[in-house]
Amino acid sequence: MKRSGGRKGLSKSAGGLLVLAGFGTLMYLKNRILPKYADDYAFSFIWDGKHHGNLAYGNQKYKRVRNMRDLAKSQLSHYLTWSGRTVAETMNQLVLMKDDKKTYDRLNTVSILMQLLFCAAGAKGKKDGKGISASLAFLLATGYWFCVPYNVHTVFWTTGAANYSWPGLIQSAFLLPYGNSCHEADHRQSAPLMALLGLLAGWSNEAGGAVAVLLSSVRYIAARKKSEHTAWMAAGVAGACAGYALLMLAPGNFRRYQLEKEYSDIMPEEFNGLGNVPPQYVYTGKMFASHFKNGFLPVILRQLPLQLPVLLYLMQQDHGTKDDRRYLASLELAAFGVPVLLMLSPEYPVRAAYVSSLLSLTASAYAWERITPETLKKWERPVKAVAVMTAGAFAVNYISSLIADADLYCEIEGQIETLREHREDPDVSVQNVAVSDFWSYLAGDRSLKDDMLQATWLDANPEDPYNKAVAAYYGTGAIKAEPVEDHPYRGEGREAARYRIVKPCRSFVKRMKRLFYETFR
């Protein structure tokens, strides 16, 4: 079959690029509205492993990371005393060393768009045509927005992006050649480059590193059976295995485990199914039940809508070649396998399933690209209905998340102003922050919620590690946050309910005015 004419191909690409450009603009605005908070302050300093690290109770010595020497010293201490995520935390501290939120917001927006392009590249495979249609771009954009669990923690928050979405970009770049080789036996890559990418992908984070090792190894073994294996495949697998070993066997992993055992008194004595699992409940029925309810199900249910294109593809007679079906099956199995394997972890952070979302999104896009015009025509009305509902849900969810985050930004700015005004005081008390339950409900986990803030922001205890890091960052004395129960959002009655709706809207307008001034001054 001949390819379509250049003008048609150009319009197809133009529509897809327009959708991606619009989505990128919205994501940049989302980045700009979010404040700096939580671990961003702790990682702005050289990691103090001698005093339990910057995220635990201790008598830390705070010195800002100002240059590459400080960065190397910090990462060595972090690797030896806390975690093996050297690749992720190096990226994190590089950004925080620059200490320019606008620069980070630009880089992160580019990262989001690049991730969508990697998903598209993994989806198109050997299919004719290189353009991204508007429908595919819409699927990728809305799928990424809704599918990623706690995307505010994994994609937009500086420390979260450095630990999940940015490593995900490395993992996608590493795995893409292996995916392409499923369709092109003579696919070529540089062996040294693949070894380096494999090292970085394996050394990134636990779930994503495991997927990089597993999928690259499976593809190499399959190619070897057909005598289609190449040097770059072996080099990539070796690099990924070496990186994953460096990640998992880091002395800091064992030191942190010992530290948490010694300080288990700071954990709840009774397991309520949230946060860390107390040592006495690790690998018990209660832990697995909690992981299934609070971790596995939220991840899987969020990805179910992405299976609609897969179902349409499987319902048609043309399922492609045997290699096509195997490739799609490998994406689906890996996407499902990640949340299953996380059940074995003593902690089930839903955000750790980020790589599962990418695999599920790629599988969905892969199926969409192979649905025939006849199938689409047969299911045209339901497909259009789903698209309209998705667009409407995105609009409501996105706008609500902006309002919620802008309100939080203004509240945190109020705290920062108080800290600056009382810089000379030995003790500083600030009003704690809260989010409106109205806008938080509409935004869901696309914005910062109360349960996130209570675990990662200022506490009533001045010795809390987050309090101490913020105090060191702004050069103040000990910080104490007033209980969140006293916040105006906790009021009852009609007037309080109205306040929870109107006040965040005013904060949003205030934040937008400030952004407009910063952009065009």
| Run of H or E including 408 | helix 380-421
Phi, psi for residue 480 in degrees, rounded to 5: -130, 130
Q: Which residue has the higher pLDDT, 451 or 231?
A: 231
Q: Is residue 470 domain-resident?
A: yes
Question: Which residue among 319, 344, 378 closes a domain?
Answer: 378
Q: Are 426 and 499 found together in one domain?
A: yes
Q: Is residue 322 domain-resident?
A: yes
At 112 the pLDDT is: 97
Residues 404-425 pLDDT 10s: 999 999 999 999 999 999 988 8
Q: Are 359 and 396 found together in one domain?
A: no
Question: Which residue among 316, 347, 378 closes a domain?
Answer: 378
Cα atoms found within 13 Å of the Cα of residue 203, Cβ hemisphere only: 21
**Could you tell me the pLDDT band of residue 11, with boundaries at 50, 70 and 90?**
low
Residue 452, pLDDT > 60, answer: yes
Q: Are 398 and 511 found together in one domain?
A: yes
At 229 the pLDDT is: 83
Q: Are 400 and 507 found together in one domain?
A: yes
Q: Are 292 and 365 found together in one domain?
A: yes
Q: Is 55 helix (H, G, I), strand (E, B) or coil?
A: coil
Q: Are 363 and 413 found together in one domain?
A: no
At 326 the pLDDT is: 87
Task: Tell me if 142 sits within 8 A of 179, measured CB to CB.
Answer: no
Q: Is residue 487 domain-resident?
A: yes
The average pLDDT across 33-60 equals 92
Phi, psi for residue 429 in degrees, rounded to 5: -110, 130
Q: Which residue has the higher pLDDT, 235 or 126?
A: 235
Q: What is the CA radius of gyration of the chain?
A: 24
**Could you tell me the pLDDT band of residue 138, with boundaries at 50, 70 and 90?**
very high
Q: Is residue 195 domain-resident?
A: no
**Could you tell me the pLDDT band of residue 263, with boundaries at 50, 70 and 90?**
low
Question: Which residue among 312, 345, 378 closes a domain?
Answer: 378
The mean pLDDT value of the chain amounts to 89
Q: Is residue 132 domain-resident?
A: no
Q: What percent of the chain has pLDDT above 70?
A: 93
The average pLDDT across 103-123 equals 95
**Could you tell me the pLDDT band of residue 265, with boundaries at 50, 70 and 90?**
very low
Q: Are 291 and 353 found together in one domain?
A: yes
Number of residues in the chain: 521
Quote the CA–CA distance of 177 and 232 in Å, as a whole number: 10
Highest mean pLDDT out of 41-45, 349-353, 451-455: 41-45
Q: Are 341 and 414 found together in one domain?
A: no
Q: Are 284 and 358 found together in one domain?
A: yes
Q: Is residue 181 domain-resident?
A: no
Residue 346, pLDDT > 90, answer: no
At 48 the pLDDT is: 95
- The domain tally of the chain equals 2
Q: Are 348 and 444 found together in one domain?
A: no
Q: What percent of the chain has pLDDT above 90?
A: 68
**Could you tell me the pLDDT band of residue 9, with boundaries at 50, 70 and 90?**
very low
Residue 228, pLDDT > 50, answer: yes
The average pLDDT across 106-117 equals 96
Range of the domain at 487: 392-520
> How many other C-beta atoms can be found within 10 angstroms of the C-beta atom of residue 278?
18
Q: Is 481 helix (H, G, I), strand (E, B) or coil?
A: strand
Q: Are 364 and 402 found together in one domain?
A: no
Q: Is residue 16 domain-resident?
A: no
Residues 282-318 pLDDT 10s: 888 888 988 999 899 999 999 999 999 999 999 888 7
Residue type, 126: K
Say how far residue 190 (Cα) sits from the centre of its chain: 29
Residues 149-184 pLDDT 10s: 889 999 999 999 999 999 999 999 999 999 988 877
**Could you tell me the pLDDT band of residue 432, with boundaries at 50, 70 and 90?**
confident
Residue 207, pLDDT > 90, answer: yes
At 3 the pLDDT is: 36
Q: Which residue has the higher pLDDT, 316 or 11?
A: 316
**Could you tell me the pLDDT band of residue 243, with boundaries at 50, 70 and 90?**
very high
At 270 the pLDDT is: 62
Q: Are 369 and 400 found together in one domain?
A: no
Residue 7, pLDDT > 60, answer: no
At 43 the pLDDT is: 96
Residue 137, pLDDT > 80, answer: yes
Q: Is residue 150 domain-resident?
A: no
pTM over 0.85, yes/no: yes
